[in-house]
A and B are shown apart, each in its own frame.
Chain A
Amino acid sequence: MGVSEQSKLPSDAANEGSNRSRGVVRFLFAHNAVVLLIVMFVVAAIISDVFLSTGNMVNILRQQSTFMLVALGMLMVMLTGGIDLSVSSNVTVSSIMVAYFLKDLSFQNLSWGLMFSIFMAIVSGLVFGAVNGFFVAKLNMPPFIVTLAMMYAGRGVAFIITDANTILLDQNVPAVEALVGFATGSAPGINIPYPTIVMVLIIVVMWLVMHYTSFGRLVTATGSNETAVLLAGINSKKYKFWSYALCGVLCGVAGVILAARTGSATALSTSTSYDMTSIAAVVIGGASLQGGEGNVPMTVVGVFVLAIIGNIMNLVSLGVYPQLVVKAIIIILAVLLKSVSSKTA
């Protein structure tokens, strides 16, 4: 033993250079979404002059805030080995809650009405997610089915509350003005949209939660091998439940931003593909559908990969339908790279 350790040292020193470059290659293979993002960025910059303009950049950041929040929630759920197909419905119901409280319940006339409406929207997101979590964690039902059912339920609720009409907020009311100003305006001096600031804050918080708290650790452990975690004396159900519930909260926040951006809310938003887009982003970021794999920074990368694809295709005015095909190709490519890299490693 002692001999082998000694003989290792000189060879290590000699190999350090090549080891390092091999390490870089391995890192890039394992984090192929980063490479993909850089390639996309460069290609986009070459194809279109507009791409690098401040206006376009700010636009991407503003647009992505809602998708980012949903994707982070989805990450948490997928780390446990689950999936949440109901996010679009949840975001929509939450956005409707804001508008409904402000307008239909006339909270817009109260001084604290705006804060209360936002609060209720986030609570609605929490409750929605908690229902998912209850069925999946406590009653051991398959997440795919539970969240599929909740997707329909949410859609129904959205249409019931709005009577299938769009709730249009009166932007002359101070509360609504503040809400819309939040979504469309930028922080004074630095030209960064408020929703983007919220997004960055939440990314940081989520990163801290997933990497520096026992909650994040045990959520990942649960997805990695639930039987082992259970037999080790950990209440894995608790972590599953809260990952769905917190995913719901993030959907709630996304719903508020959505309502603020348009100054309105409509049940038609349920057909926005928050679900598929966020799943795709998380998967591009290297997460496994079996759970236990994936992290916040790579999910952020995944979201921007999809964002830039969408953006550049808009800039070169590619049709909406061809866009879908291109997106599909990129998703398959990213996942293919991952399965290749995990085989070689």
Chain B
Amino acid sequence: MAEYEYAVEMKGIYKSFEGVHALEDVGLSVKPGEIHALMGENGAGKSTLIKVLSGAHRADAGEVFVRGKKTDIHNTRAANDLGISVIYQEFALVPHLSVAENIFIDEFGSEYVRIDWKKLRARAKAALEAIGFGDINPRIMVRELSVAYQQVVEICKALTRKAEILVLDEPTAVLTNKEVDKLFGLIRSLKEQGTAIIYVSHRLEEIFRLTDRITVLKDGQYVDTVNTADMEPQSLVNMMIGRDLKSFFPERDPAKQKIGDVVLKVENVSAGRMVKDVSFELREGEMLGLSGLVGAGRTESVRAILGIDRMDGGKVYLRGKEIKFKSAKDAFDNGVGFLPEDRKNQGVLLKMPIKYNITFSCIKRFTTYFGWLLKKAENTFANEIKDKVGIKTNDIRNAVSSLSGGNQQKVAISRLLACDSRILILDEPTRGVDVGAKMEIFRLVNDLIYQNFAVLMISSEMVEIIGMCDRAVVFKDGRSVGEVQRKDLTEESLIHYAMGV
């Protein structure tokens, strides 16, 4: 029956975003009835590759063969028609519709004039039973299901569309151990039925338990494909790391840096599902990195500590005094500035002028009684800070949206500086920023360190942590699992804690 060896074969895939290479000559081949792991660090290009396969992105170059035939996957519809289904971390289910409706949602557009509810539910029931989850009631609203069951519904939906190639992107990130076991059972039975499964995950333990072969990517490039049985965890990790540290980080002059007292101390903080036990200390004149894999709970911890989200347990000390921030405003009033990771939606006011963006959070500095604005002083100040930070624009009255990503980020950082926050928390400050602007941002951070600011940086790029930080705290599954000093900062040491190898 098989005149083809591979269910999917991707060859020589190239993809770049705004001049940044996300994928360079990457390949992936998956046999029918195989569970194939796709591995790599944050930003290695796994998601991009998956999106090319699912038709969400178009490759700049390269070929995709499905069941031996060369195909052109130009949109997600085409991928579906070829039997390719991707289950992302964020589910594509409609929470307010029933399970049955969600499973057959793509049929509603064309095939029904009148919905035969009885038949629909019966079919949903049959489909769920076929994968061993007959206990899910097709009438129930999706939002009432647990996350794990939602995932099952998603898989069921994919299978009813005759998915022969199933991609699971970090499917266990939010599941409990028991739920993971159940999911793995389902994946294995699909494998026996001949489905080709691509499994994207950071979790080594799962990779070794579940998969047959592993393809490793690094910095958007293909490293190797290996049989899982031939590998040790350590050798796999070695494949993922070990790149040359490009020297694009500005040198920090130790003579100018004075590391002082602890200004922010966090003890055993827990919050929600994502943050279980987090402790760290931040000192004056120091840059501390929070490292870890995406989804390890770093942003969530910081948001809880700053009072943006609810903190369930633990203690926070500011300059030795216990404190519980009630809101971002409270934290801000206490001199803690926060740069959110999602610049466009949380960091800047895109449509408003640059100068307003710089001054708005400390507008009181530029007002007299009754809130009367001192526009001249504001202008002078905004221009000064623009020059200091190096925002490239010819007029600070322009909207922020007219700037490049890097310059937008500089505007967001300027806002923190304008307010004289002495403790800065930067969440992924260089995301979506080109290399030149990255360098400038880090040079700016160095200047702040010399002025005795305390800087906490969350970064998913290990090279950044290694290149910039005095110390790093590594997160894994909502816990701060290790601390690495500057002299020991290497990818190995960070990965050691982040993956638990």
Residues of A within 8 A of B (CB): 212-215, 217-218, 220-221, 224-225, 227-235, 292-293
| Binary contact readout B333-350 vs A (1 if CB under 8 angstroms, 0 otherwise) | 100011010000111111
Given A214-B371, A293-B351, also A233-B360 (CB < 8 A): no
Contact residue among B329, B349, B352, B360 (Cβ-Cβ distance under 8 Å from A235): B329
Q: Is B367 part of the contact surface with A, judged by Cβ < 8 Å?
A: yes
Contact yes or no, B328 A230, CB < 8 A: yes
| A-B contact list, 5 entries, CB within 8 Å | A213-B367, A230-B328, A232-B360, A234-B329, A235-B329
A232 and B333 CA atoms in complex are apart in Å by 10
Give the distance to chain A from B344, nearest Cβ to Cβ, in Å: 9
Hey, which chain A residues are within 8 Å of B415, CB to CB? Answer: 232
Hey, which chain A residues are within 8 Å of B462, CB to CB? Answer: none
Tell which of A213, A225, A229, A232 has the most Cβ of chain B within 10 Å. A232
Given A214-B371, A233-B332, also A225-B345 (CB < 8 A): yes
Q: Is B372 part of the contact surface with A, judged by Cβ < 8 Å?
A: yes
Contact yes or no, B329 A213, CB < 8 A: no
Closest A residue to B332 by beta carbon equals: A233
Contact yes or no, B346 A231, CB < 8 A: yes
Closest A residue to B350 by beta carbon equals: A225
Query: With contacts A227-B345, A292-B351 known, what are 7 further pairs, Cβ within 8 A?
Result: A212-B375, A224-B350, A227-B346, A229-B349, A232-B360, A233-B338, A234-B361
Contact residue among A212, A215, A228, A233 (Cβ-Cβ distance under 8 Å from B349): A228
Closest 8 interchain pairs by CB? A233-B332, A232-B361, A214-B371, A213-B371, A214-B363, A224-B349, A233-B329, A214-B367
| Binary contact readout B352-380 vs A (1 if CB under 8 angstroms, 0 otherwise) | 10001000110110110011110100000
Given A224-B352, A225-B349, A232-B360, also A217-B373 (CB < 8 A): yes
Give the distance to chain A from B15, nearest Cβ to Cβ, in Å: 28
Interface size on B, residues (CB 8 A): 32
The secondary-structure label for the interface of chain A is helix
Give the distance to chain B from A269, nearest Cβ to Cβ, in Å: 34
A233 and B420 CA atoms in complex are apart in Å by 13
Hey, which chain B residues are within 8 Å of A230, CB to CB? Answer: 327-329
Q: Is B217 part of the contact surface with A, judged by Cβ < 8 Å?
A: no
Give the distance to chain A from B410, nearest Cβ to Cβ, in Å: 15
Hey, which chain B residues are within 8 Å of A224, CB to CB? Answer: 349-352
Given A213-B370, A224-B352, A227-B345, also A233-B363 (CB < 8 A): no
Given A224-B349, A225-B349, A228-B348, also A217-B333 (CB < 8 A): no
Hey, which chain A residues are within 8 Å of B340, CB to CB? Answer: 228, 231
Q: Is B266 part of the contact surface with A, judged by Cβ < 8 Å?
A: no
Hey, which chain A residues are within 8 Å of B371, CB to CB? Answer: 213-215
A252 and B415 CA atoms in complex are apart in Å by 38
Given A221-B360, A235-B329, also A228-B351 (CB < 8 A): no
A213 and B289 CA atoms in complex are apart in Å by 39
A225 and B331 CA atoms in complex are apart in Å by 20
A231 and B340 CA atoms in complex are apart in Å by 8
Contact yes or no, A292 B349, CB < 8 A: yes
Hey, which chain A residues are within 8 Å of B328, CB to CB? Answer: 230-233
* B365-405 at interface with A (beta carbon < 8 Å): 366-367, 370-373, 375
Hey, which chain A residues are within 8 Å of B370, CB to CB? Answer: 213
Hey, which chain B residues are within 8 Å of A292, CB to CB? Answer: 349, 351-352
Hey, which chain B residues are within 8 Å of A232, CB to CB? Answer: 328, 332, 360-361, 415
* B252-284 at interface with A (beta carbon < 8 Å): none
Q: Is B147 part of the contact surface with A, judged by Cβ < 8 Å?
A: no
Hey, which chain A residues are within 8 Å of B366, CB to CB? Answer: 214
Hey, which chain B residues are within 8 Å of A233, CB to CB? Answer: 328-329, 331-333, 337-338, 361, 419
Closest A residue to B329 by beta carbon equals: A233
Q: Is B481 part of the contact surface with A, judged by Cβ < 8 Å?
A: no
Give the distance to chain A from B28, nearest Cβ to Cβ, in Å: 37
Closest A residue to B363 by beta carbon equals: A214
Contact residue among A212, A218, A220, A225 (Cβ-Cβ distance under 8 Å from B372): A212
Give the distance to chain B from A343, nearest Cβ to Cβ, in Å: 14
Q: Is B308 part of the contact surface with A, judged by Cβ < 8 Å?
A: yes
Closest B residue to A221 by beta carbon equals: B360
Hey, which chain B residues are within 8 Å of A220, CB to CB? Answer: 352
Closest B residue to A211 by beta carbon equals: B373
Give the distance to chain B from A206, nearest Cβ to Cβ, in Å: 14
Tell which of A225, A231, A235, A293 has the most Cβ of chain B within 10 Å. A231
A293 and B347 CA atoms in complex are apart in Å by 18
Give the distance to chain A from B182, nearest Cβ to Cβ, in Å: 36
Give the distance to chain B from A19, nearest Cβ to Cβ, in Å: 13
A292 and B340 CA atoms in complex are apart in Å by 20
Hey, which chain B residues are within 8 Å of A218, CB to CB? Answer: 360, 363
Contact yes or no, B338 A217, CB < 8 A: no
Closest B residue to A225 by beta carbon equals: B349
A245 and B141 CA atoms in complex are apart in Å by 40
Contact yes or no, B329 A217, CB < 8 A: no
A229 and B356 CA atoms in complex are apart in Å by 12
Hey, which chain B residues are within 8 Å of A231, CB to CB? Answer: 308, 328, 338, 340, 346-347
